[in-house]
Amino acid sequence: MKTGANIRTNDPQDLQNGRGRSIFKILNPNHMRTLFKKIRQHFIGRPPSPPVSTQEEFPVSESQFNNYTFVIGSVFSYFNDLSPENKTRFINRVHHFKNTKKFHFIGMEDRDDVITLVSASAIQVTFGLKNYLLTYFKDIYVLADAYKMENDEELYIGHVAPEGIYLSWKHFQYGYTNSHKGDNVNVAVHEMSHALLYNNFFAQYGIDSHFRMNYEKFSNTTGPILADAVTKRRSYLRSYAFSNLHEFWAVSVEAFFVNPQGLRQNMPELFEALSRVLNQDPSTKNKILREELSR
């Protein structure tokens, strides 16, 4: 597959030096499976980024509201299900998210509707949580198509690194337009769920204490599920889930949003654990389970 991006690479020394680079650079993992470890090392000892209040508001005008409704509603059936009150909350969160991130387009033109839709995928994953901004991540890179990283022949459709969240736009669209096919693939949901985990365990600000507590419970319930899948050599989740615990988390969250009924039927304990940790049930119209934890 042809890559759609002009990607520069950086050396490990740059990583140690932290941020402040003006051009687009990308992590250089030997393999995706080692990426999390590197990120973990990188987060430790970094100076904290300044706090961003989740209470800060960016007002949305009526015409902006209508535009958001149109753009998000054209792609997210999740959004269309929401009550008017929750649609307003969803849009306010998308607007706030957009205003606290810097978006970079690689191999494609800047598009406001793309910024809105990528933001909406983050808001979908974090909708049941109070702290939804993924505060640690300031930059989001949208690439036209799949891309390669240095010293790695594999094509990536998304990844999360300390510098930012990276997504292939072509594959983003696949995640939302082909959700009915039942392959449980949604790269945006996948990467946002990695970002949520990094944000809550390694960042200094924007931590959601409900999420952290329940993720710890979630990881306790995954042991038997993983053991079972390994023994049977098959699972409802695609095999990539079993690369490591972090991929298990991200692939599970994908299945949770793409086909909640399917996940509930096939892996009920996992579905319950995810509902608790994300404080939502995507198969219901209201989505949010415990209002008090989401405000």
146 lies in the site for Zn ion, by CB under 5 A: no
Tell me the closest approach of the beta carbon of residue 185 to Zn ion, in angstroms.
Answer: 12
278 lies in the site for Zn ion, by CB under 5 A: no
Check if the beta carbon of residue 211 is closer than 8 Å to that of residue 54: no
Of 35 and 91, nearer to Zn ion (C-beta) is 35
List Cβ<8 Å contacts ≥24 apart for 270-273. 270/221, 270/222, 270/225, 273/217, 273/218, 273/221, 273/222
What span, in angstroms and rounded, lies between the C-alpha atoms of 165 and 41?
Answer: 18
Check if the beta carbon of residue 199 is closer than 8 Å to that of residue 51: no
Q: Which of 261, 114, 247 is nearest to 182 (CA)?
A: 261
142 lies in the site for Zn ion, by CB under 5 A: no
Residues in binding contact with Zn ion, number by CB under 5 A? 2
Tell me the closest approach of the beta carbon of residue 194 to Zn ion, in angstroms.
Answer: 5
Which part of the chain contacts Zn ion (CB under 5 A), choosing from 124-132, 214-222, 240-248, 253-261? 240-248
250 lies in the site for Zn ion, by CB under 5 A: yes
Indicate the residue whose CB is closest to Zn ion: 250
Which part of the chain contacts Zn ion (CB under 5 A), choosing from 38-46, 70-78, 244-252, 287-295? 244-252
CB atoms within 10 A of CB 285: 10
188 lies in the site for Zn ion, by CB under 5 A: no
Tell me the closest approach of the beta carbon of residue 270 to Zn ion, in angstroms.
Answer: 17
Phi, psi of 124 (to 5 degrees): -60, -50
Of 104 and 238, nearer to Zn ion (C-beta) is 238
Tell me the closest approach of the beta carbon of residue 59 to Zn ion, in angstroms.
Answer: 35
Check if the beta carbon of residue 107 is closer than 8 Å to that of residue 144: yes
By CB under 5 A, name the binding residues for Zn ion. Answer: 247, 250
